[in-house]
Amino acid sequence: MKTNNSFSKRLRVTKNGKIIGRKAGQNHFNAKESRGKQLLKKRANFLIFKNKDRARFLSNTY
């Protein structure tokens, strides 16, 4: 199965093997939200994948 490169470019793998990605829902419609909520959305989010999904969304070098 091919790797989904468009999604894998949005992920980062830490040295311990954790996968970090951006949280959803922060591109627009943020003007009404409090500043605290806006800053919370900018934090990195740890993603949990099953082994099958990990092989699909990450490149073969991982």
The predicted structure's pLDDT at residue 36: 93
Q: What is the pLDDT of residues 13-43, one digit of tens each?
A: 888 888 898 877 888 888 999 999 888 888 8
Domains and CATH numbers, the chain: 5-56 (4.10.410)
Buried b (16+ CB within 10 A) or exposed e, 49-61: eeeeeeeebbeee
Query: Token pair 């969304």 is at which residue?
Result: 57
Q: Which two tokens stand for residue 17?
A: 């093997």
Q: What is the pTM of this model?
A: 0.63
